[in-house]
């Protein structure tokens, strides 16, 4: 029997799918799958660093999708829950899915299948909550800005809703907990990061920076929208690593892989 290994990946969804591919291809006895930002646990197992490979990730994605469209949604939504140990739970779930003759008839009395379904539903509820309750404030350069702190990493899931609803406005939704945002520039949506030292929470208070319902652009956003330009902060590599192909069309009009 092969010794057990802990697989270390970069934290992206495609990185996780690559780890699944490698584990199946090399018939690894997986002890755990951990993000490289975690302190590695598992004193009695070897570790192997997994390097993200989009083509390998796509093969896993397509394999799951061919088994069940519902399962692929469950896998992605559960991954975005960021629940402790979710990677190993997903690994076991995918094993069960691939071993089943019909992925549409997974046994929901099985604890692993039920756990993934529950996580996916929780993420789905948070997605709808954000779509309903995000509140924008207009900056003085006519960009609608909102900062949020959702329970789960739902920015990739809410992009389509806001692009369709506010197609004629520039807007930016920023997740202050995860330190990245989605920016719509009237053409497409892209992932951006901001290096602001201070972010004002709409849900907590309004500061003196709000004047006539406008965010004080000069004091808080000058570095981004004038000096350094927001486009210089867009990381397209991050874009393709963190969002599976099914959702790329909601984030950008560009279909090719960077």
Tokens at residue 30, please?
């997986």
pLDDT higher than 50, residue 9: yes
Q: What CA–CA distance (Å, rounded) separates 58 from 187?
A: 26
pLDDT recorded at residue 196 = 56
Whether the CB-CB separation of 76 and 13 falls below 8 Å is answered with yes
What is the phi/psi pair of residue 120, to 5°?
-60, -40
User: Which tens digit of pLDDT belongs to each residue from 12-23?
Assistant: 999 999 999 999
pLDDT recorded at residue 105 = 66
pLDDT higher than 70, residue 86: yes
Q: Which residues have CB under 8 Å from 221's CB, separation 6+?
A: 139, 141, 145, 215
Domains of the chain, by residue range, sit at 4-126, 134-254
More confident residue, 153 or 109: 153
pLDDT higher than 90, residue 248: no
Tokens at residue 185, please?
């520039």
Q: What CA–CA distance (Å, rounded) separates 97 from 242?
A: 23
Percent of the chain with pLDDT over 90: 50
Q: Tell me the residue length of the chain.
A: 258
pLDDT higher than 60, residue 162: yes
End-to-end, the C-alpha distance of the chain in Å comes to 39
User: Which tens digit of pLDDT belongs to each residue from 196-217?
Assistant: 554 455 543 444 444 444 444 3
- Strand bridging mode 4-9 / 29-35: parallel
Whether the CB-CB separation of 56 and 18 falls below 8 Å is answered with yes
Q: What is the DSSP string of 23-61?
A: HHHTT-EEEEEEETTSPP--TTSEEEEPPP-HHHHHHHH
Give the pLDDT band of residue 176 (cuts 50, 70, 90).
confident
Q: Which residues have CB under 8 Å from 63's CB, separation 6+?
A: 98
Give the pLDDT band of residue 1 (cuts 50, 70, 90).
low
Which of the residue ranges 111-115, 207-211, 250-254 has the most confident prediction, judged by mean pLDDT?
111-115
Percent of the chain with pLDDT over 70: 70
3-state SS assignment for residue 82: coil
User: Which tens digit of pLDDT belongs to each residue from 26-50?
Assistant: 999 999 999 987 766 655 678 999 9
Q: What is the mean pLDDT of the chain?
A: 78
């Amino acid at each position: 029997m092969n010794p057990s290994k802990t697989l270390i990946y970069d934290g992206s969804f495609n990185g996780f799918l690559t780890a699944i591919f490698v584990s199946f291809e090399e018939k690894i006895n997986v002890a755990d799958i951990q993000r490289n930002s975690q302190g590695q646990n598992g004193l009695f197992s070897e570790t192997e660093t997994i390097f993200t490979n989009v083509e390998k990730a796509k093969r896993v994605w397509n394999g799951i999708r061919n088994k069940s469209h519902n399962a692929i949604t469950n896998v992605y939504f559960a991954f975005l829950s960021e629940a402790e140990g979710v990677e190993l739970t997903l690994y076991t779930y995918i094993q069960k899915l691939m071993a089943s003759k019909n992925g549409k008839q997974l046994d929901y009395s099985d604890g692993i299948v039920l756990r993934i379904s529950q996580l996916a539903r929780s993420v789905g509820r948070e997605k709808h909550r954000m779509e309903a309750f995000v509140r924008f404030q207009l900056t003085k350069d006519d960009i609608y800005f909102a900062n949020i702190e959702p329970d789960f990493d739902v920015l990739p899931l809410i992009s389509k809703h806001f692009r369709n609803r506010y197609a004629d406005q520039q807007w930016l939704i920023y997740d202050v907990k995860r330190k990245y945002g989605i920016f719509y520039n009237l053409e497409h949506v892209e992932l951006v990061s901001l290096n602001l030292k201070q972010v004002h929470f709409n849900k907590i208070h309004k500061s003196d920076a709000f004047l006539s319902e406008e965010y004080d652009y000069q004091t808080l956003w000058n570095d981004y929208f004038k000096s350094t330009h927001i486009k210089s902060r867009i990381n397209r590599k991050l874009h393709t690593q963190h969002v599976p192909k099914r959702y790329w069309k909601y984030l950008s009009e560009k279909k090719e892989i960077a």
